[in-house]
Structures are given as C-alpha cells and as structure tokens.
Structure 1
Amino acid sequence: MTRIQRRLHAVMLLMVLVILLAACGKKPEGMVKVTRSSLYTLVSMTVVTNDEAKAQQAIENAYKELERLEQLLNFYADDSELSEINRNAGVKPVKVSPEAFEVIEKAAFTSEMTEGAFDVTIGPLVKLWDFKKGVIPEKAAIAESLKRVGYKNIVLDKPAGTVYLKNSGSQMDLGGILKGYAADKATHILKKNGFLSGIVTVGGEVRTFGTKPDGTPWIVGIQNPRQKDQSDEVVATIAVSDKALSTSGDYIRFFEKDGSRYHHLLNPRTGYPADQCGSVTIVAEDGVTADGFAKIFVLGPEKGLQIAKKAGFDALFIDCNGKILMSEGLQGKIRLQKH
C-alpha cells in the first residue's frame, strides 16, 4: 500500500466507522450523507432528516464555505490571505478577513497553551520535509529553518484586523488546526439550516451534533496506529454527542529509512518527527480545539495528559508499545476492543 493509499484508507476507515457504527439499529428517521474532496482531504457531512432536498442544499452551502476557507487560508496558494501574511513577515502587518483573524488567533492561543508543541509558525519546516519523496533534510537546513519558527513572533491587532510576523522568513501553516475549524463552520451552517443532529468529518477531524435517529449518542472508532490486519483496525470506540474528536498519529503520512519511521508530525523544537507515542485522540467541545491540541502528540502521554487536564479537554494516548493511557474524563466512556 502506497503512502497516499494509506492516508486515504485511514480517512475512509474513520468515515466508515462513524457512519456504520452510527447506523446500527432501526432508524425512525433517515440520514442524508454527502462525501467529496475539500481542503485537500476527504470530507463527509451527514444529517438526520427525512427531507433529502433540504439536506442536500444545506450540505452544499456548507461545502461552499469550506471552499471559501480553503481559498483564504491555503498555505501553498500564492493568492491566499495566509500567503500574503507570510510574504510580509518582517515587513508590515496585513489586514485579513474576520475568519482568517479568528483561526489565527485560535492558533496562537493553542500554540501558547501547548507550550509550543503546536506552533503555527512551523511553515519553514513543513516546506523542508518532503514525505512523498521520502528524503530526510540536511541537518544544517533544519537548523536554519528552526531560526524562523516561533509563535511568539505573531502580532495580532484585533481592532485593526491585522496579522504581523515580526521575524523575517517566518511562515504560518494552519494545516494543524484548519480542518477542525472548518468542521465547526460546516456544523454551524447545518444547524443554522434547521438540522439538529449529524456528523461532519474533515480528514481525521470529527464534529458531532445531536444524536443518532434513535436518540442515542454517535459512536466513533479510534484506529490502531500499529494495525497488523483488518481484525485489529480499531482499538476502541467512544459514544459522543455535541463533541469534537481529532486524532494525530504517526501512521498516515510517513516513510521508513534505515529502520526508522519519519512521519509528518514534526516537533517544532527539534525540526524532526516526534517519537513519543503512536497516536493521540482529543475529545473537546469544538473542532478547532480538538484539532489544534491534538499536536500534544509531540509531548508524549505524561506531559500531554497534564496539558489536557489544565486546558479542560480529554485525551487518549496510545504509546509506542500499544499501551493506552487516557484522562480521567474518559474513564468509563471508552470501550476497548478485544482482538
């Protein structure tokens, strides 16, 4: 299986788990689901309803909002607002849209709360690593890029609506928080259109609202980061309603060289992939929180669980040996699978 196939498989597995587990039992109402590509990943939106025409229109509106966010905040597009900020690093503040300011403000807050485990200015390192070609950057190049990484160089002026990077050469990459933010926006649109229950998945981010048609919580599966075959794809499930989940793991985008695994979850302090665990799943009130804080993967279970407790959300870690560690709030809510 190629790297791209692994990534698509992981995303599709998540969607299948969410929808199939949700669909167990007799449904007093129908569910309308639309899946398509957006934000450079697979997105699925499901609402509980018998009015398919109304649901299709609401879902279409939600997808249009995701397309707009992609245009505004694309790290690789020269004409995005994010690229305009990055081009003007060390030069001048840039006036941005309310949405861009909001998500960047959330990113800066998350960077601070995770003590830099999530650092939105990781852009120079992201561009340095090429996981498609599987090439390890030179140590000197990593060291040079690290000089331009540092979230404390972000200056936000809310009254003026501007964003400024003080350090010349700095680059923000919102890829570690944008999907969760987008899931929140899509959910808001679906609810605004009158739908009380459903699920939005954006890549590995899950945003639930309301309940299944039978009134019970949605069931979401947590993937095994060291899966051996189809019998052990899922290590646990959790029942949730009006919650967001995000999983970061070293098993989706990676290459192996000389017996070592190099994955896309980079430690902003070292410039290299973190090696403290296999995956972490965050359960929070909203997608932007779950997505951003999932980067405590970098810190490992002990420190990561401390931050989760301090910030007020729940986390489940699977360490490098497959051991599961979770915050107190998940005790009794997680159903471990027998293999």
Structure 2
Amino acid sequence: MEKITIPTEPIGSIPRPKELIIAQRNYRYGTMTYDRLCDYYTRAIQTTIQQFETTGSSVITDGEQTKPSFLTYPIFILFNEYYTFSADCFSLKFADGHQRLLPRLIKAPFRYALYAHTYIDIAKQMTQLPIKQAVITPSALSMVYPKATIRGYSHEQFLNDLTNECEKDIRLCLESGAYCVQLDFTEARFSLKIDPSGQLLKDFVQLNNQVLDRFTFQEQRRLGVHVCPGGDQDCYHSFEVDYLEVLPSLFKLHVSNFYLQITSETNRERIFLCIREHMKSWHRIFIGVINPIDPRVESAKEVCDQILEAVKYIPIEQLGTTDDCGFSPFDDDESTSRQMAFDKIQARIDGTHMAEKQLMMNR
C-alpha cells in the first residue's frame, strides 16, 4: 500500500531574538555599526534554521530575520530618498487601532533596492533542507503610487516598472534554488474593507496575474500564494470580512499552491465547501492548522482532527498543512515568543504525521 504523505510548510516569519531587536534599535539610533548589526543577523538566521531542523520540518525559511517587514523589504532602504509618509499613504488598520503604513513614491522610477533571492543565498549556506521564500505581491506595492503625482511619470509607466521588478524578484528566487516562492497577498481580504464592491480585489488579481503569466506552467508549480486576515501584534486587520467573498477570486491566480488561513475561522465547513468548488486539479491546498496569534499551543491531536475534517472536502493528494500566518511579519512585533512559535510549528508537524498514520489505518 502506498504511503500517505501530507506536505507541511511554514508561512515564513519567526519572531526575532530579543538581542536582534535591541541591535536594530541601536543601529537606528546610530550607536551600532552596520557590520556589527550583520553579526546579529547572521546569528539569528543560524539559530532559526537550527530550530527549524530540530522540529523535523522538511521545508524551512530563514524566518525573515533580516526583513524589516514582509511588505516593504524591496524598497525599505530607499525610504528617505524615494518615499514619504503622509496622511494619504496606504494604511493597514488593525482591530486594536494600530496601523502599518506603506509610503508614497515621490521620485521616479519605481525600483527594487533588494531582491528576495539574497535571503536564500545566505540561508542555503547554512542548511541542506529545501528553502521556501516569501515575496510581496505587485498588488500590495501598487499602493505606493495609486495615481500619477510625479511629473513625467505616468501610472502606466509605474505599473510597467512594478511588474518588471516583481517578475525579477520571483525569477531570481527560482534561479537561486528556492523550493517554492510564496506571494504574500494579505491585502486581498483587506481590499474588501476599502471597496466592498470587489472591484479593487479584481484589479489586484489581474495585476498579480500579469506578473504570474510571465512564468511557464512548470514554473507556476513552484509558485504559491498566501492569504489571511492579517496578523500583527496579536490582532487582525480584516477578520470581519467574509472569507467566502475572497476565495473565489483567489483561485483565479495562476499559481499551483495555496496557503490558506483556516483554523481561526469559526465555520470551517463552509470554507472547505468553497475551496472544493473553486480549486483545480493541479492545485495544492495548504490549510492553516495553527493560529499564530492564539497564546495557546495547539495539540498534535487538534491538528490531526482538522486534517481529518479537511480530507472530507479536499483530496489527500492535493492537501498540505501550514500556519494561518507568519508569526512576526513586521520586525518589531514581539507579541509571540520564539519558543511559542516553534512549539506551535512542532505541533503542526507532529499533528500532520499523526493524521498520515490515521489515514493509512483508515485505508
């Protein structure tokens, strides 16, 4: 009898060590050199990879230890020269009232200062395990220049530069040997708060597909998309938006892997029914079985039970498991400890193996 294997993968970010957060703060205040900060970065990446390996995870990330955030890493070092923060900036507003701002472009042309393959190049020197890399979507970055405000730089020119840079970011990750490249599409659910008609979400999907269509079908099999209601400082930015209004549009994206927040939903059956209706035969559905903002560590049995529920709707050969969201998508988020994050990851892995054994017995 053929063995049942359910792939399980992290989303990306892991809380940074306290000493790294302090070092970053000291660097910003001018009391630490960049070379010294890099020493802290290196140690954080090494420790994160070692802890991933200890869990038995077959696919890992670098924990995004050197990303300022999942959202701004390509343009972060250009902030002072190319961007400004003002009242009209795009803002992710969270349930507790705090905000995360995306700056506004004030100098053309739009360009990346850093590509995500650099994270892979460093991480693969420290591990033999497959490395997954998260990148930001073009739709998210499109909000730095929603309309033409720079003389001689049209919105069409901006979108062309944006799609070129996003394609390059993904392609360089593939060329660097990424096992999978995951597009973080947290603005999908949030877009329906801004525009309940759904037109903005359609525009976002169309823009993302303009980039994804530059890749072959075989390349798209190594691409995925992650969507969630946004987790930061133990709260969400768009949990109140009905998931069923998002999922049909999500499955129009030209990727093969879908990393979906599930476990925090109160009525999972209706979500699974929607997934079953819209998924294609070449899709892999990674269901979230861990809630990163829940202060309780899930048990392996709870994870197993969620998987057994999911296989009633999703074929086993198309099923995978993941976490609902990254554990620290912004570098200053200390709401979850590193130990808590890895305890939850361990529960996901153990629970997935438990489900594999149970499903084999059921056969």
When normalised by structure 2's length, the TM-score is: 0.29
Relative to total residues, which structure has the larger strand share, 1 or 2? Answer: 1
When normalised by structure 1's length, the TM-score is: 0.31
Relative to total residues, which structure has the larger helix share, 1 or 2? Answer: 2
